[in-house]
């Protein structure tokens, strides 16, 4: 593999770096760098800045706002964005439903939704998880029954991240209960302002509000909001989750946080501890290996379909993300459970990142996928 950038790629990197460090509001980037919570307005403003420059959805087909970039350029774009502490474009829009609509949606759905999805004029929520399905997504029980031209939806979704901001929700629903469970699922797009849709907050242990339950009671969804064919939902879900897993290996931001932990440990003297220094060195090496693996996965994704090794990115990416957050807690010491500033935010961040082992398909499920589809066990 050629690891040295060409002159063209170095120029591209410089262009991305200048854009991200000058065109995205500094106050938003400061919040990201310091681990502070972003508001909805922050996320929308950042994505609009990217979209206005054509940098929000470079991986989409060109006719829908994508860029005709090489895989390496897309990697550089992502790396420089994370290094500049720019919030990534909202994954529900850009990495999940956007590519699905481009691949499986009708012409009418593409015309109606793709542009406002890229610009974040529509905020999408994800309606996959259910209380009794756990990691076994195929066991979902939310039902959609055809009634005239409409679908009538009843059921419950849970762990809907930032669902309180959602305008629309893409859902998996059971449309045929009498066949193999994977074969009776469809994808519907549901307007969250429709009668019968209710969003209920789930209060977290720190008092925060990040996730929700979404209930559907006799919600009438127009028939043309079906994505793809009836009972094609499982195929679409696998496509979507593959893209999601590529996006949940935040190598750039994990490198930035590791460099921050290293700098803070240097300032506090902790880096002179051989055991701590060895942990830092080991993580740096593992991050480099993950970065190279991410390049291989992207380079081997054919016609927009994610490579099966995206499960490796999801698994290892979340493990390293959590390990770096633990380093910062150790640097903060007693400040991690009191006071203010970065030290006080380190423990909530560490605890919050425990969820990374579950979302996007649990790490246990990823191990099963790796064993079956990559190792052939």
Q: Which residue has the tokens 């996959």?
A: 128
The residues near 285 (Cβ < 8 Å, ≥ 6 apart) are none
CA distance 314 to 362: 9
Residue 354 DSSP SS3: helix
Q: How far is CA 89 from CA 56, 220, 325, in A?
A: 6, 31, 22
The residues near 16 (Cβ < 8 Å, ≥ 6 apart) are 55, 76, 77, 80, 81
Q: Is 108 a catalytic residue?
A: no
Report the alpha-carbon angle 213-217-220, nearest 5.
120
Structure tokens at 206: 């720190």
Beta bridge partners of 143: 154, 174
CA distance 305 to 172: 20
Catalytic residue among 244, 286, 291, 303: 244
The kind and range of the H/E element at 311 are: helix 310-332
CA distance 60 to 62: 6
CA distance 329 to 333: 6
The residues near 210 (Cβ < 8 Å, ≥ 6 apart) are 161, 162, 204, 352
Q: Which residue has the tokens 């052939």?
A: 376
Cβ count within 10 A of residue 220? 15
Cβ count within 10 A of residue 173? 26
Structure tokens at 183: 């074969």
**Cα of 164 vs its chain's centroid, Å:** 17
Burial grade of 222 (CB within 10 A; 0-12, 13-18, 19 or more): middle
C-alpha closest to that of 126 among 228, 184, 199, 64: 199
- Active-site residue numbers? 244
């Amino acid at each position: 593999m050629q690891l040295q950038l060409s002159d063209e790629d170095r120029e591209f990197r410089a262009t991305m770096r200048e854009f991200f460090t000058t065109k995205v509001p500094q106050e938003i980037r400061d919040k990201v760098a310091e681990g502070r919570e972003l508001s909805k307005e922050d996320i929308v403003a950042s994505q609009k800045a990217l979209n206005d420059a054509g940098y929000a959805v470079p991986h989409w087909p060109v006719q829908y706002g994508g860029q005709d970039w090489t895989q390496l350029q897309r990697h550089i774009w992502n790396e420089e964005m994370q290094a500049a502490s720019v919030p990534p474009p909202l994954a529900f829009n850009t990495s999940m439903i956007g590519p699905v609509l481009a691949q499986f949606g009708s012409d009418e759905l593409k015309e109606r939704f793709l542009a406002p999805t890229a610009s974040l004029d529509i905020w999408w929520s994800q309606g996959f998880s259910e209380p009794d399905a756990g990691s076994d997504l195929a066991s979902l029980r939310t039902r959609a029954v055809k009634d005239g031209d409409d679908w009538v939806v009843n059921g419950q979704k849970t762990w809907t991240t930032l669902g309180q901001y959602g305008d629309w929700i893409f859902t998996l629903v059971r449309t045929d209960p009498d066949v193999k469970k994977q074969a009776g699922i469809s994808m519907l797009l549901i307007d969250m302002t429709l009668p019968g849709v209710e969003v209920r907050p789930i209060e977290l242990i720190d008092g925060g509000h990040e996730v929700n339950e979404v209930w559907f009671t006799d919600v009438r969804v127009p028939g043309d909001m079906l994505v793809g064919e009836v009972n094609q939902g499982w195929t679409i879900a696998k496509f979507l989750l593959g893209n999601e897993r590529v996006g949940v290996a935040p190598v750039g931001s994990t490198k930035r946080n590791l460099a921050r932990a290293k700098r803070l440990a240097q300032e506090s003297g902790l880096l002179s501890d051989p055991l701590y220094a060895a942990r830092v060195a080991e993580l740096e090496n593992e991050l480099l290996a993950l970065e190279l693996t991410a390049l291989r996965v992207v380079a081997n994704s054919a016609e927009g379909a994610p490579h099966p090794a995206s499960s490796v990115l999801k698994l290892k990416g979340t493990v390293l993300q959590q390990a770096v957050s633990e380093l910062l807690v150790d640097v903060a010491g007693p400040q991690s459970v009191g006071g203010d500033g970065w030290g006080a935010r380190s423990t909530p961040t560490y605890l919050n990142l425990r969820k990374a082992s579950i979302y996007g398909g649990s790490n246990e499920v990823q191990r099963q996928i790796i064993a079956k589809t990559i190792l052939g066990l």
